[in-house]
Structure 1
């Protein structure tokens, strides 16, 4: 299902279900989130997470005009996986401001060193920040948007139940883990063919 103007709730309808639907949304988002090491998490997006994000933006900004709604859809719809990939929001989390400044300077390029390793398949490295460059010569951003584009054999292997690891081979942030089974089952649903 794609997100269209007609598939969104009106501001009034969303306001009525906003609080009651929040626990289910939080559980879905937690299912699709993976902590990689101590300071990085990846929130894998799907149609449901992006739909909620759009509805939240419309609600918070009180956007009800056609152009505003279409603008929000245009901004967020590219984050929905299209059947051959996983898309994720990457968060680098350092509560202390001084540590964050120091680490973001050390982690330039970290978003390009993220990978997914499907059992029996070559590594798939992240394609990062296609919307805009989120780092400069002195530091990386605390938020990145990445896409893992899978060849057909890797998509088939994931859908068939292959083990999958998520990792980072940046010099200053080496980490890897097996994606938990429940999360992997949800992510496998994003892939076709």
Structure 2
């Protein structure tokens, strides 16, 4: 699966080619996704997306839905391509995970607004809070959604600091879910690859 910097219909594999590729390469994609996963406490997971993870997502959707027409392919690209980081940011899928349905219902009601309280903190710099759900609002007056899409927009100085090896924490300061975690060095190395620094 080649990354080209931009996901276009021409850069995707045919259903047949992807089906063959998937048999041998799926473990690599799973390892890549695991590397870019950060857990905040017991119930909040951030999956930092990349061009590779979004290409895989699109190819999987095309395979599952057996989509091979241009219009359908374009719709899948339109849905997932915005989650590819574009050099100045990190983008993540945020999941609130509660296996018990009653607990989930209760907690999603208690965690309204949590998606706006998630941040990254580069060593020596102020927190950068997520910009959440730019495509559509995923919250109702009664509860938040179990899935949100986040963008962390990093100014040039922060990007340079990350590239230079600064430590980064990710956290949440919602009243009902305070949590933070240091991003592991190997995960941070992968995330640093998403960032560009102006010359």
TM band (smaller chain) = over 0.9
Give SS of 1:120's match: coil
Task: Write the distance in 2 (CA, Å) between the matches of 1:96 and 1:61.
Answer: 29
Is it true that 1:67 corresponds to 2:71 in the alignment? yes
Determine the structure 2 residue equivalent to 1:126: 130
1:28 to 32, 54, 65: 32
Tell me the TM-score normalized by structure 1. Answer: 0.99
Q: Comparing 14-23 with 72-81, which one deviates more in the overlay? A: 14-23
Provide the secondary structure at the position in 1 that maps to 2:158.
helix
Consecutive unaligned residues in structure 1, runs of 5 or more: none
Residue 105 of structure 2 corresponds to residue 101 of structure 1? yes
Shift of 1:64: 0.4
What CA distance in whole angstroms lies between the structure 2 residues aligned with 1:98 and 1:66?
A: 42
Gaps of 5+ in 2: none
> In the TM superposition, what is the alpha-carbon distance from 1:67 to its structure 2 partner?
1.1
2:59 matched to which residue of 1?
55
Inter-partner Cα distance in structure 2 for 1:74 and 1:134: 18
Deviation at 1:76, TM superposition (A): 0.7
Q: Give the total of aligned pairs.
A: 193
Equivalent of residue 91 in structure 1, options 90, 95, 108: 95
Where does residue 44 of structure 2 map in the other structure? 40
C-alpha displacement of 1:17: 1.5
1:146 equivalent among 136, 150, 153: 150
Identify which of 13, 20, 25 aligns with 1:16.
20
- Post-superposition, which runs of at least 4 consecutive aligned residues in structure 1 deviate over 6 A? none
CA distance in 1, matches of 2:61, 2:28: 18
* Alignment match, 2:181: 177
